[in-house]
Structure 1
């Protein structure tokens, strides 16, 4: 059931504000992706200077300190305690450091562009599967030809950057 109202341009459905939010968030997510490229550029030299694990620890230490300050400033948070969450939801705490260590190891050897496109191909490939099967509580979005084409183009970009 769609909720609608009238405006000067005609009926407005509930899907339109959601679509607007989607387009509004897109540049924010692109900027966050740019931040990951900057992080990869910083981590490579840092890992060479202090060691890959120390570089990873320093990045997570700074991030944890910032998050701690944000939590202090944002007031009381609602939600369950960590011991009430399903354990599988905490896997990200294990995957994050692996991701950062891989960035510190790979970036000096294969470059930032190659590292980021390789990461992107892995992210998109796994994301398509997660959407398709509805894993981890995600809403199901079946793989269609456009999604397969997008994944293939990312792989083509990976090959072209590797050759260049």
Structure 2
């Protein structure tokens, strides 16, 4: 018995719908993080604030790894080096949050970040970069990006 591609995609689609609230909550957490980083950066310096955030995060991840049991996957030295670029991008993101938030506000910072994220993700999807499945840019995706830019302008003016 052969299943259609639509039927095969349903469990994946359902998982995506279940994960969506979690992703939204994570996004809310980034706004809270931005609000915390500005004052912390003013007190201890922007780089120390970034280091402290990553230090706490590293400690939490180590505890999770200790209590989650053996992990599957290759050793870090077996991975292509380009896949580790996120280790550079994460701290740069947090430093920018720490610097920008006190000057332009949390809403402006978050919508600017969102516009960059959506803009780049549309390109990554369109070209299938980093081994992702290609998803061509259509009019709806361009419209969504345009609306985010409009939101950025409106928040900047408000």
* Bin of the TM-score, shorter chain as denominator length: over 0.9
1:118 and 2:106 aligned:
no
- Secondary structure of the structure 2 residue equivalent to 1:35: helix
Structure 1 length-normalised TM: 0.93
CA RMSD, Structure 1 to Structure 2 (Å): 1.4
Q: Please name the residue that 2:50 is paired with.
A: 56
State the aligned residue count. Answer: 157
Change (3 A) 1:145 1:80: same
Task: For 2:2 and 2:17, locate their aligned partners in 1 and report how far apart those are by CA, in whole Å.
Answer: 20
Aligned counterpart, 2:132: 138
> Structure 1 residue runs of 4+, over 6 Å off?
none
2:35 corresponding residue in structure 1: 41
Unmatched tracts of structure 1, length 5 or more: 5-11
Correspondence list, 1:64-79, <5 A: 64-79=58-73
SS in structure 2 of the partner of residue 13 of structure 1: helix
Whole-angstrom distance in 2 between the partners of 1:133 and 1:75? 37
| Structure 1 position 2, deviation (Å) | 5.9
* Alignment counterpart, residue 108 of structure 1, candidates 99, 102, 109: 102
Post-superposition shift, 1:13? 1.9
- C-alpha distance 2-40 of structure 1, shift in aligned 2 (>3 A): farther
Q: Does the CA contact (< 8 Å) of 1:114 and 1:162 recur in 2? A: yes
Superposition pairs of residues 23-38 of structure 1, within 5 angstroms: 23-38=17-32
Question: Quick one: distance in 2 between partners of 1:120 and 1:50?
Answer: 27
User: Which protein, 1 or 2, shows the higher relative CO under an 8 Å CA cutoff with sep ≥ 6?
Assistant: 2
Higher helix share: 2
Q: Which runs of 5+ in 2 are unaligned?
A: none
Structure index of larger Rg: 1
Greater fraction of residues in strand: 1
Cα offset, 1:3, TM superposition: 2.2
* Residues 142-151 or 75-84, more deviating: 75-84
Secondary structure in structure 2 of the residue aligned to 1:141: coil
